[in-house]
Amino acid sequence: MSATRVTIIGAGVSGLAIASGLRRHLGSAVTVDLLEAAGHPGGMISGVEFAGMLVDAAADAIAATPEALTSKLLAVGIGLPVVRPQGAPQQLIRGDRRVVLGDACTGTREVVGISGGMWRLAAELIGVAGPIRCGARVAHLRPAGRKWVTSLVGGAEIIADAVIVAVPPGAARQILRDVCSYPWPSFAPRQAVLLAYERDHVPKNRSTGFLRSAALRDSMPVTGLTWIDVKWPAAIERPNVAVARAVLDRQHNAWSDQQLVAMAVTLVADLWGTQASPVDASVISWAEALPAAPPPAERAPQQLSPGLMLSGSARGVTGIAACLDDAAKAVGHVLDALGADASGAAVGSVSGRTTA
C-alpha cells in the first residue's frame, strides 16, 4: 500500500500525544506532518523562561493518581517520575479590606505532577512525537475528493488522507470555516502573573498558596495563587528563589501588565506579610483558554467527517489527563479507519478506500 499521510494541526499536549501514538502504532506506514504555529511546541504546557529558570506558567498538576498518570504516560511511550504535591492550598475566605486565608482545602480530587515541572512532559513528548514544523500556522482546510488540503499562512499546501485539528477552538473555527459551522466551545483570554522573590524575604511557612472561595468570585481578581517552590520543590532549580504564580479570573482581561503585577505583589504582601519587592515579575497570556470545567454539552464531536477529527482544546476537552485520553481516542479512530492493529500492520486508507 502507499504510505498514509496524516496532518496534525497544533503541537500542544494533544497534538504531540497523537503524533507519538501514530508513530508507535504505525511506524513507517504513516507519514505525519505535525504543524505548530508558534516558534516552539508544547502549547499550554510549555515552560517559560523566568528568573533564570524554566517555569510552568499554566498547568502544573494533573488530576489523576500516580498509577493512572504513569500508565497514561506509558501509553504515549514515555516514562517520567510522577510526584505528589507537598501539601494542599488554603482557601482565601476574605478579600475585601483584609485578605484572610482559611484552612487547607480538602476534598479536592487527587492531583499529581511531573518531577521537575510540567514542562518536562512537553519536552519528553517532543522527543517521541517525530519531526515538528514550528512556525507553520495553518490558515485553512478544505476537502479535495477523499483527501484533505491544509493551507499554511504563506501559501504552502499539504495533501493528506486524514487531518486531526488539535488547536484551541477559535483557531479551529477559523481553520474549518469552509468545512463546518459547529457551535464551538466558548473560550476567553487568560493571564497569569509570575513573581520571584529571594527566599529569605518570604516566610518559610507559606503553604502551597490558595484557592479563592466561591464567595469572593466577584471581588477577587485571581482564582488562585501557587507557591511553586513549596508545592513542587523539584520544579524550582534555584534554591534561593521563591516563585509565586497567580492565575487571573477570565473577567479581568482589561488590566495592563503593570496593574496585574502590582495587584499580585499587594496580594502576596497582604497574605504573607512580606514587604520585599520581587526580583522578577512577568505576565503570561493565552489568547484562547477554555473554562476549567466546560459544560460537556459544549463539546464538539471527535469525528467531523471521514478523515477529519478534532482533539483536545479544539473540541472543548480541558485538562492534561483528559487531553491525553482524547488523543488516545483520536489515534484509535485513525487505526480503525486504516484497519490497522496495534502491531502496526495497516490495510487501508483513512478515507475508507482499499489501497493495494
Ligand X SMILES: Cc1cc2nc3c(=O)[nH]c(=O)nc-3n(C[C@H](O)[C@H](O)[C@H](O)COP(=O)(O)OP(=O)(O)OC[C@H]3O[C@@H](n4cnc5c(N)ncnc54)[C@H](O)[C@@H]3O)c2cc1C
Contacts with ligand X by CB under 6 A lie at 9-15, 35-38, 43-45, 58-62, 137-138, 166-168, 171, 175, 190, 192, 247, 286, 289, 312-313, 318-320, 323
Residue 157 backbone phi and psi in degrees, to 5: -130, 145
Closer to ligand X by Cβ: residue 23 or 346: 23
Strand partners of residue 120? none
The whole-angstrom distance between residue 93's C-alpha and the CA centroid of its chain comes to: 29
Contact 146, 306 (CB under 8 A): yes
Closer to ligand X by Cβ: residue 278 or 319: 319
Strand partners of residue 55? 48
Strand partners of residue 290? none
| CB 104, min distance to ligand X, A | 18
Q: Find, among 108, 251, 135, the residue nearest to 191 by Cα.
A: 251
| CB 325, min distance to ligand X, A | 11
Closer to ligand X by Cβ: residue 10 or 185: 10
| CB 145, min distance to ligand X, A | 23
Q: Find, among 255, 252, 246, 248, the residue nearest to 225 by Cα.
A: 246
Closer to ligand X by Cβ: residue 319 or 349: 319
CA gap 238, 233 in Å, rounded: 10
Closer to ligand X by Cβ: residue 332 or 348: 332
Closer to ligand X by Cβ: residue 268 or 323: 323
Residues in the chain: 356
Closer to ligand X by Cβ: residue 35 or 346: 35
| CB 158, min distance to ligand X, A | 12
| CB 200, min distance to ligand X, A | 28
Contact 121, 131 (CB under 8 A): no
Closer to ligand X by Cβ: residue 29 or 104: 104
Cβ of 9: how many Cβ atoms within 10 Å?
A: 29
> Would you tell me the crossing angle of helices 13-26 and 119-129 to the nearest 10 degrees?
30
| CB 219, min distance to ligand X, A | 20
The DSSP bridge pattern shows strands 209-212 and 222-227 to be antiparallel
Joined together, the cell numbers standing for residue 261 give 503585577
Closer to ligand X by Cβ: residue 109 or 204: 109
Cβ of 67: how many Cβ atoms within 10 Å?
A: 10
| CB 140, min distance to ligand X, A | 9
CA gap 256, 253 in Å, rounded: 8
Closer to ligand X by Cβ: residue 138 or 243: 138
User: What is the C-alpha R_g of the chain?
Assistant: 22
CA gap 4, 24 in Å, rounded: 15
| CB 119, min distance to ligand X, A | 11
| CB 97, min distance to ligand X, A | 28
| CB 354, min distance to ligand X, A | 32
Joined together, the cell numbers standing for residue 114 give 511531573
Dihedral in degrees, nearest 10, Cα atoms 248, 249, 253, 259: -40
